[in-house]
Amino acid sequence: MPRGSAAYLPTLTGVRGLAAAWVFALHAWEFAGAPPLTLPAIGLDLTPLVRCGYFGVDLFFVLSGFLLAMPFHRAALDGAPRPSLRRFWMHRCRRVLPAYWLQLAVLTAAFLVLQRSEMTSAGNLFAHALLIQNLVPWPVTLLNPVYWSMPVEWDFYVFLPLLALFVARFRWLPALGIAVLAAMLFRVACYASVNDARLAAFIGFGDIQQLPGRIDQFVIGIGAAWIVARQTLSPRAASACAIAGTIGIVAMAYIAAPRGDFLVRMDVPYLYFHHTLTALAFGLITLGAVGGGRLATRLLANRPITYLGVISYFIANALSIAGIAGARGDVQYMMVFLTLFLCAVYCLLISRITERGKLALILVTIFGVVSILNLLTQIGEIFKGDPLVLAFSLGANFLQAVALVLLFLPMSREWFRPAQQVEDVS
């Protein structure tokens, strides 16, 4: 395997697809009323694994560090010119901003209709549009709860070239130690600001989720990329990494789930090292996926999983919009079906790079049209109790479900075979 070529293996896209599926399972579980999930035959409680679907954010941060740092590592090791920063940042803008701005436009329109002025103020929309919610001096009300992570990722894009140079200069282990220490000191400072007025003038506890408090997760990904860029992992070593990482993540789920929202509860000292431990486990899983053993290839590099990985960025955001719907009662119908329509539009765009052809185009178009009709029906809830409205709504829901299932059915026998090399779409 050529040096650094693992940066774009479909197994990594598959890992991202599984993370998206994990987030989906969390939201589906919450929509169902958060019931206990126990295997009756052996009494094994799986609820903690589903409850911790938010771990997917940690995995996305690690994968971003790995994938985006690889070209810089390859250039440093080969003595080649470093990648163009202009091209790198332009690619990030093309990747993130169109779908993000589309969501902002739809959410803004919805909140204007609902007369939610705190959501649609000029300052609020300005901060969202430029992804500087975490930097502006005025209070910002998030249009979508998941948007807290967008500025973190965006800030990482700005500092990535320096972080990659930092890892290359100090080597991955010392660099990782420095990053972990810096992140933990920042978390301690954020917690201390709660009772220290002088410190609170500079940072607050809410800043614990911003880039300085998550820098170790990105550096773990960057360090894993440095390891892969320098040498090829043997299948045995890759399998050992994957197994150790999986055991670590399962253990963290069963430790974290009983603690609930440990950040809201200010669960000290646990909150100081939780994100570091989950990122280390995900770093091992990433190394295991890159190793490309037969089992990893079959599980992670098949077309359904890699397709989920390709659209994972949008899935995570769209599901969060649906989460808003479930939490706001009367807004539920409008927001859920706006989400479905956005999903249809995005799948239509994605279909061009997943070789799904005209059938995908037709199915997605049907899905989008039915979503619009269903949206109009749900907005017409003023006709509550009308059996015709209810019948149409149920029929539209059924057609949407059928169209979505058909989108994921294999188009040929090749569909379930390992995917070919996938372009970086992190």
Helices 270-291 and 235-256, axial angle in degrees (round to 10): 150
Residues 6 or more apart whose Cβ sits within 8 Å of residue 290: 6, 9, 11, 12, 224, 228, 233, 238
Rounded distance between C-alpha atoms, residue 13 and residue 15, angstroms: 5
C-beta of residue 183 within 8 angstroms of C-beta of residue 214: yes
Give the ranges where 136-201 is alpha helix by DSSP (H).
149-170, 172-192, 197-200
C-beta of residue 232 within 8 angstroms of C-beta of residue 275: no
Helix, strand, coil tally for the chain in percent (to 5): 75, 0, 20
Q: Collapse the DSSP code of 200 into the 3-class scheme (helix H, G, I; strand E, B; otherwise coil) and give the result.
A: helix
Number of Cβ atoms within 10 Å of the Cβ of 249: 22
Q: Collapse the DSSP code of 39 into the 3-class scheme (helix H, G, I; strand E, B; otherwise coil) and give the result.
A: strand
**In order along the chain (426 residues), what is the average pLDDT of each group of 10 residues?**
48 84 78 80 86 90 91 86 87 83 79 80 92 86 82 90 83 86 94 91 88 93 91 85 93 93 90 95 92 74 72 59 48 49 52 50 59 54 52 58 52 42 40
pLDDT tens by residue, 170-195: 777 888 899 999 999 999 999 999 99
Every domain of the chain and the residues it spans: 5-327, 333-412
* pLDDT in the model for residue 297: 76
